[in-house]
Amino acid sequence: MSSPKFEEFLSKVTSKVKSKEAHNMIKKELIHHLQELSQSYKKRGFFKEDAEEKAIQEMGNPFTIGERLNPLHKPKMDWVLIVLFVLFAGISFLPLVGGIPEFSLSGTYFMGRQTIWYTLAILVIIGFLFFDYQKLKNGWIYFYAIGLLIHIYLHLFGIMTNGAKKWVSLPGLMVDGTMMSLFFFFLAWAGIFNKINEFRSWKKQGLLFVLFWIPISLYMMVPDFMVSIIYFCCILGMFAFARIHKKLAVNLILTNLLAGIIFIIMFYMTSRQSYLLTRLSAFINPTADSNGAGYMYKAVRNVLSEAGWFGNGLSNELNFQLLPESHTDFAFPFLVYSLGWAFGFVLCLILLIFISRISKNAFKTQDLYGRLIVIGGATLFAVPTTWNILMSFGVVPIMGISLPFISYGGSAILFYAAVLGLILNVYRRKDLVEPTIADEIKS
């Protein structure tokens, strides 16, 4: 409890700081200095009221202090990420210029749809940008429950397309349910890792074990293997930076590693003829079934080999039979074929800058929860981007995964817009929130 004199001093300081969100943090910092100075004067023999008065005098003019603190505690916007988002939005229209051969609808129709998705994406980003993201950190159990409810809905009413029962039908549109659940599981785990050191008992560690593996099992049941890989990498990324006590971290790593090995063995034993293993076999030896499962590896290789440095133009003769899904999963090889390797290298460089920028932003906030959100968000962008490009070169198996913000598709665009909005929110408030990472180290 600070004295009335200190309170009056702090009120004068904060009257010059426009961001009200920063007032509490500034008051906490300054009251600590005032109390230290006051104690110092008391030790020299001053009475309490005189010591407080001397401490205030030593701090200086409160209005001047407030004017100096005001620019340091303004909300910040990462305009580089905004510019890159706009750039990606523009690029996403390029694969639609010549139309999409597998559909009878014109390219104009898909451009109109893409415009609607990006309009909604901007609203989603704005929606996730202007609120206190810290209000989400205690709601992890609700986010996890929402993720589970989405899967229950998919199991009961989901619409199957291309072998995966992952679509939810809404009036006028279809939404990817697994992407929706991934977003809620991501939020849930950011909240769990924010207080992970409270899970020290064996019962709570058992709960963590179950919470981690349930989503993977659900994604395998859909099946949506790529989302399960993204989920795994996202949780792993946040785990690496969650500042977990060593003994707890070792316990979690060993139990989940053992469970992972058992899971892979059981999956292999029960799914020898599955779709996934067929795709893996095609990846290892595409020529064994070049007109079946290995066809796409051959098709993408042929498309890239004919690209040249400056491509064949957007209105080229590349057709659906040669490269299916050229506007979604294979947007990257289509763009390289159309605009050349020079464009492909520049696109890879821009994507690298985008992900690097997000990763660097993670360490600009001293709030653990905010840092976990940005690290998890960076992983949600990095894994599909890397996998999509590498599968175009035949380095990893071909799976149904879009290139963030560039491939056509509303669900994915809205998903990534929500993640980007949260990342921008953390960056915007990095100078307004109280540090929590230092406290975590001491505990």
Q: How confident is the model at residue 291 (pLDDT cuts 50, 70, 90)?
A: confident
Asked if residue 443 has pLDDT above 80, the reply is: no
- Take residue 421 and report the two structure tokens written for it: 């909005």
Section 184-199 average pLDDT? 94
What is the pLDDT, as a whole number, of residue 105? 63
What is the pLDDT, as a whole number, of residue 70? 85
What is the pLDDT, as a whole number, of residue 263? 82
Range from 97-111, 175-189, 420-434 carrying the lowest mean pLDDT: 97-111
- Take residue 290 and report the two structure tokens written for it: 């070049």
Identify whether the C-beta of residue 66 lies closer than 8 Å to the C-beta of residue 15: yes
* pLDDT per residue as tens digits for the range 231-242: 999 999 999 999
Q: How confident is the model at residue 194 (pLDDT cuts 50, 70, 90)?
A: very high
Identify whether the C-beta of residue 323 lies closer than 8 Å to the C-beta of residue 335: no
Number of Cβ within 10 Å of residue 307's Cβ equals 21
What is the pLDDT, as a whole number, of residue 297? 85
Region at 163 (left for phi over 0; alpha for psi -120 to 50; beta for the rest): left
What is the pLDDT, as a whole number, of residue 177? 92
What is the pLDDT, as a whole number, of residue 442? 46
CA distances from 76 to 21, 364, 376, 378, 436 (A): 13, 12, 21, 19, 19
CA–CA gap between residue 263 and residue 268 (Å, rounded): 9
What is the pLDDT, as a whole number, of residue 425? 95
Section 278-283 average pLDDT? 75
Nearest alpha carbon to residue 180 among 192, 172, 193, 170: 170
On the question of a cis peptide bond just before residue 333, with omega within 30 degrees of 0, the verdict is: no
Q: How confident is the model at residue 292 (pLDDT cuts 50, 70, 90)?
A: confident
Handedness of CA 288, 290, 293, 294 (dihedral sign): positive
Listed in sequence order, the residues at least 6 apart from 238 whose beta carbon sits closer than 8 Å to its beta carbon are 189, 190, 193, 372, 375, 376, 379
Residue with the larger pLDDT of the pair 47 and 383: 383
Section 118-144 average pLDDT? 93
Identify whether the C-beta of residue 366 lies closer than 8 Å to the C-beta of residue 436: yes
* pLDDT per residue as tens digits for the range 3-21: 888 888 888 888 888 888 7
- Take residue 250 and report the two structure tokens written for it: 């070792």
What is the pLDDT, as a whole number, of residue 439? 52
Percent of the chain with pLDDT over 70: 93
Find the farthest-apart pair of alpha carbons in the chain and give their distance in angstroms, rounded.
Answer: 92
170: helix, strand or coil: strand
**Looking at residue 409, what DSSP letter applies?**
-
What is the pLDDT, as a whole number, of residue 145? 97
Mean per-residue pLDDT of the chain: 87
What is the pLDDT, as a whole number, of residue 254? 92
Listed in sequence order, the residues at least 6 apart from 329 whose beta carbon sits closer than 8 Å to its beta carbon are 388, 398, 400, 401, 402, 407
175: helix, strand or coil: strand
